[in-house]
Amino acid sequence: MKIIAYDLGTGGVKASLYDDQLQTLAKSFIPYGTQYPTSYMHEQQPEDWWKGVVESTRTLMAKTGTSGEDIGALALSGHSLVTVPIDAEGRLLAESVPIWSDTRATAETAEFFERIPEETWYMTTGNGFPAPCYSIFKLMWMKKHQPEIFSKIDKVLGSKDYINFKLTGKCCMDPSYASGTGAFDLMAGKMRPDFLEAAGLSPDIFSELTPSHTVIGTVLPEIAKETGLSPHTLVACGGVDNACMALGAVGPEEGRIYTSLGSSSWVPVNSRIPILDFQKKPYVFAHIEENMFTSAFSIFAGGSSFAWAKDVLCRDITEDAYDRMSEMAAQVPIGSGGIFFNPSLAGGTSQDKSIHIRGAFVGLHLGTTREAMVRAAMEGICMNLKESITYLQQKTSASDEILFCGGGSKSRFWMQMFADVFNCNIVKTNIDQDAASLGAAAIAARASGLWSDYRQISSLHHVENISRPDPKRSAQYAKLQPAFVHICDVLADLGDYLHDNCS
């Protein structure tokens, strides 16, 4: 038996084919776009996700000579906080939908908090992203601004749940995805009727809660023809990307911590009790493992900020650009000649003083070189995530050894910089950018009966490199960290001023 795991991300869908030992046989990546009607509106088209799933499925099978009958099960990891409206006939009601980073619903969020105290809401849900990101507020916005769509809604589906619906005709939602709706009680494990009532939403708008490893159905005959899958292929409920990545990266063990250095970047830790703090607002999702949580902080544009630096500062470099940038940064001393970079190019997160903070280089002068700006970009992302690491390690029995995954983990130079800034060992394994895919594959393995639990995940990781901190460099970065934090606070104040007076 073989398994397909799909990782629906912000930039595209990654599909991976696994054998019954969860060894990777082939991969495919199909990109899709994001539309930005305004700086606060971030939209994607659900049909682009579906086209990516179909194309990547056929690509995997063609690469490996695999038939549909060979695919015993599949599962999806899906990007979070997405609201896909369908009517009672299962028809898609909106061509484009807001994705996780969309913050258009600020007025609706304020209205909600007039009815439900914000602290009560956060301490119940653990929803620590800027509140307008969450599903119920996006639906409040839709109800007010797109009443012709809202009035026809039968169900609202998450990203992976929309694909599951296309595959099986069944509507479902697992606890990990539900925990990003803005109406899920983490400790009770169910939706809060009073939160839905305060948002003006019917409880029936969301699907029934179903464990991630539940088989929700098999592939519909007409979809089997379209994708090349078999009508007998089992479809598991799957999970939200944060939880699938936590499962694939560090398994179900308590206290395990990792860093994802992808387009957005985050630092989560596994724990039996969610880490809730109304002042700092770590964001929490229900883990794929029952009775466990993944609590985290993030940068909305971590790897994306470095990609921006590549596109703007190094557009003349057409080959191996990231390797060349590491070489540039290595020529510059720690501290980048007094240049600091704040990577909030997609706005602020819960760890920032304000969601209106924006990215910036600070300390530029006539002698500033491109090399210094490249190093400052790398250091800024490290120092931003350092604040998260310090907090999470203080709040839990988190390991002082941190697994890195995502595209940025390929740079040994950057991994050494992270080791020096974090002052701990940084581990890279073979799983690399495939943690969410492995998490989804593990769900499919459990759903199909190949696995009875998730304890085997750690055995699939093989260490490729360990970066250890240098005491002298770590001490230098420790002196720079307070200046970085102060600069970020000033930029947050400036962001508020510009928002209030210039927007």
Tell which of 174, 207, 237 closes a domain. Answer: 237
| Distance, first Cα to last Cα, the chain | 56
264 versus 464: which is more confidently predicted? Answer: 464
Provide the pLDDT for residue 432.
85
pLDDT in tens, 398-413: 677 899 998 889 899 9
Write b or e for each residue in 224-260: b if 16 or more Cβ atoms lie within 10 A of its Cβ, otherwise e: bebbbbbeebbbbbbbbbbbbbbbbbbbbebebbbbb
- Say whether both 277 and 316 belong to one domain: yes
Q: Is 462 contained in some domain?
A: no
Q: Is 453 contained in some domain?
A: no
Provide the pLDDT for residue 50.
98
**Domain tally for the chain?**
2
Question: Who's near 163: CB < 8 A, 6+ residues apart?
Answer: 6, 8, 49, 50, 53, 76, 78
Q: Considering the chain, what is the average pLDDT of its residues? A: 95
Tell which of 237, 272, 292 closes a domain. Answer: 237
Provide the pLDDT for residue 398.
67
- Say whether both 265 and 377 belong to one domain: yes
Provide the pLDDT for residue 69.
97
E strand residue ranges, 169-282:
184-185, 190-191, 215-218, 234-236, 239-240, 258-261, 265-271
- Say whether both 226 and 274 belong to one domain: no
pLDDT in tens, 296-355: 998 888 889 999 999 999 999 999 999 999 999 999 999 999 999 999 998 888 788 998
Q: Is 243 contained in some domain?
A: no
Provide the pLDDT for residue 150.
98
- Say whether both 188 and 116 belong to one domain: yes
- Say whether both 199 and 271 belong to one domain: no
- Say whether both 191 and 294 belong to one domain: no
pLDDT in tens, 198-231: 999 999 999 999 999 999 999 999 999 999 999 9
Provide the pLDDT for residue 351.
80
pTM: 0.91
By residue range, what is the domain housing residue 267? 257-441+469-503
Provide the pLDDT for residue 394.
83
- Say whether both 226 and 309 belong to one domain: no
Name which of 110-114, 266-270, 358-362 the model is least confident about. Answer: 266-270
pLDDT in tens, 153-190: 999 999 999 999 999 999 999 999 999 999 999 999 99
Q: What is the mean pLDDT of residues 375-385?
A: 97
Q: Is 305 contained in some domain?
A: yes
Q: Is the pLDDT of residue 368 over 80?
A: yes
Q: Is 456 contained in some domain?
A: no
Q: What is the mean pLDDT of residues 249-253?
A: 93
DSSP sequence for 65-84: T--GGGEEEEEEEE-SS--E
Give the distance from CA 398 to its chain's centroid: 20
Q: Percentage of the chain surpassing pLDDT 70?
A: 100
Q: pLDDT band for 423, please (50, 70, 90 cuts).
A: very high
In eight-state DSSP terms, residue 134 is: S
- Say whether both 273 and 371 belong to one domain: yes
- Say whether both 263 and 168 belong to one domain: no
- Say whether both 262 and 162 belong to one domain: no
Provide the pLDDT for residue 466.
96
Provide the pLDDT for residue 349.
83
Q: Is 219 contained in some domain?
A: yes
